[in-house]
């Protein structure tokens, strides 16, 4: 039976388009997506790939302001959009925007099942804020079912009071085929790509916003602790931008010998090239609901070094099998994991193969299937 699903989510993120396309292609889902904004240029410089969209959608009028660490986004026309969509169920991708609460009130008034799509985990730094926890619990109480990004977010939903039988895993995913194919092509054009991006012959790779909370200073310090002969032949490459870039570059200039490169923001079309030639991805974040760069790197056959607190780690990273999980802010642990990969190149190659094998279960189709299960449950078709 086909059910009409409306999804309310923040922006037209490139990694969500393949998921929504896969969901719209299912015979049991009639999808309409309501975006609160096209993009958030204050945080990310993503392209908006409208030409790839294969689902019904609209973008609400919005007013956005950045207030310190907080993002204020106000929309109008939420109720009208939902009334036109006439959904059998409503899935909210979060609770922190006014539009999410407007949607929750609308769903209750019209007796439409409300679902929450959650990526939050118990290790999220924001969890220590009592007001945030109160808001989460109040929103959770309005929901009939939940879509969790992985095991860590499922466990957190249970801690908030959700029952296990109402939670469905829709793993955070990227277009694995796209990244795998682009990386394979890049390896055939290695010399050209190294020149294009000014890449060292060998390097560890960090992808993400260059801010303190992503652990970039600890990573740089760990790199500096590697022995001088190692740094002479092994570089460190940062892809991304952020408020810490200038200070990070100043500290990097003091590391001798050593090669530290800053590639800036790189869009989806070229980022697989940089993954493809790296030794490993290092993701040293203090806190992250998931970490899709890990999916991307695994699709490009890289070993992973990641903080234990990243939401993706329980699902994607098996310590010693496809990489290493380390404590956040632990410089010595980061250095040890990097050195372990350097000591055994054959093991690193095997770990990269294991990464590729593991990420095959984290595709847009897998994510779409989990959302469809939650929809069926909310509509009374599953018990």
Q: For residue 279, what is the domain's CATH number?
A: 3.40.50.2000
pLDDT of amino acid 21:
98
298 inside domain: yes
277 & 203 share domain: yes
Cβ neighbours of 221 (radius 10 Å): 15
Burial of 190 (0-12, 13-18, 19+ CB in 10 A): middle
The model's pTM is: 0.94
Q: Count Cα neighbours of 329 within 13 Å in the Cβ-side half-sphere.
A: 4
54 & 110 share domain: yes
217 & 154 share domain: no
Pairing of strands 280-283, 260-262: unpaired
149 & 83 share domain: yes
Query: Residue 206 is encoded by which pair of tokens?
Result: 């960090």
Cα 167 vs. chain centroid, distance in angstroms? 20
168 & 221 share domain: no
DSSP letters spanning 225-265: HS-HHHHHH-EEEEE---TTHHHHHHHHHT-SS--EEE---
What domain count does the chain have? 2
Cis amide linkage into residue 257, ω under 30° from 0: yes
180 & 273 share domain: yes
pLDDT of amino acid 69:
64
Structural domain harbouring 233? 176-359
Q: How far is CA 36 from CA 93, 104, 131, 132, in A?
A: 11, 15, 23, 21
90 inside domain: yes
136 & 234 share domain: no
pLDDT of amino acid 48:
85
CB-CB contact of 306 with 205 (8 Å): no
pLDDT of amino acid 66:
72
27 & 97 share domain: yes
207 & 85 share domain: no
34 inside domain: yes
253 & 207 share domain: yes
> For each of the chain's 383 residues, which pLDDT tens digit applies?
899 999 999 999 999 999 999 999 999 999 999 999 998 766 666 788 999 999 999 999 999 887 666 678 899 999 999 999 999 999 999 888 999 999 999 999 999 999 999 999 988 765 556 777 888 899 999 999 999 999 999 999 999 999 999 999 999 999 999 999 999 999 999 999 999 999 999 999 999 999 999 999 999 999 999 999 999 999 999 999 999 999 999 999 999 999 999 999 999 999 999 999 999 999 999 999 999 999 999 999 999 999 999 999 999 999 999 999 999 999 999 999 999 999 988 899 999 999 999 999 999 999 999 999 999 999 886 54
12 & 161 share domain: yes
118 inside domain: yes
Specify which residues 91 forms β-bridges with. 7, 115
383 inside domain: no
63 & 90 share domain: yes
DSSP letters spanning 98-164: HHHHHHHHHHHHTT--EEEEE---TT-GGGG-HHHHHHHHHHHHT-SEEEESSHHHHHHHHHTT--G
Is residue 376 classed as helix, strand or coil in its secondary structure? helix
């Amino acid at each position: 039976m086909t059910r009409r699903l409306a999804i309310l989510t923040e922006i037209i993120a490139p990694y969500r388009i393949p998921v929504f396309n896969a969901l719209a292609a299912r015979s049991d889902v009639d999808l309409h997506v309501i975006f609160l904004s096209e993009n958030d240029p204050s945080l990310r410089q993503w392209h908006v790939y409208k030409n790839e969209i294969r689902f019904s959608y609209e973008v609400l009028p919005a007013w956005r302001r950045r207030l310190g660490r907080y993002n204020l986004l106000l929309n109008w026309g939420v109720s009208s959009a939902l009334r036109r969509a006439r959904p059998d169920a409503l899935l909210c991708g979060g609770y922190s925007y006014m539009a999410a609460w407007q949607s929750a009130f609308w769903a209750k008034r019209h007796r439409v099942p409300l679902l929450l799509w959650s990526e939050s985990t118990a290790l999220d730094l924001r969890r220590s804020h009592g007001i945030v926890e109160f808001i989460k619990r109040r929103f959770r109480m309005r929901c009939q079912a939940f879509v969790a990004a992985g095991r860590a977010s499922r466990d957190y939903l249970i801690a908030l009071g959700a029952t296990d039988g109402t939670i469905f895993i829709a793993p955070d995913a990227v277009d694995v085929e796209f990244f795998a194919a682009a990386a394979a092509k890049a390896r055939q054009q290695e010399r050209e790509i190294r020149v294009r991006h000014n890449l060292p012959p060998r390097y560890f790779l960090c992808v993400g916003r260059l801010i303190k909370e992503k652990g970039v200073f600890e990573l740089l310090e760990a790199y500096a602790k590697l022995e001088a002969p190692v740094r002479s032949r092994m570089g460190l490459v940062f892809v991304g931008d952020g408020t810490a870039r200038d200070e990070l570059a100043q500290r990097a200039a003091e590391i001798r010998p050593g090669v530290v490169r800053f590639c800036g923001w790189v869009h989806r079309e070229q980022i697989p090239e940089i993954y493809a030639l790296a030794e490993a991805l290092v993701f040293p974040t203090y806190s992250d609901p998931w970490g899709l760069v890990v999916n991307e790197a695994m699709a490009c056959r890289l070993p992973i070094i990641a903080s234990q607190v990243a939401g993706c780690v329980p699902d994607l990273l098996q310590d010693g099998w496809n990489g290493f999980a380390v404590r956040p802010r632990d410089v010595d642990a980061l250095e040890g994991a990097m050195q372990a990969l350097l000591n055994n190149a054959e093991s690193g190659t095997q770990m990269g193969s294991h990464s590729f094998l593991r990420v095959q279960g984290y595709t847009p189709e897998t994510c779409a299937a989990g959302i469809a299960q939650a929809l069926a449950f909310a509509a009374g078709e599953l018990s």
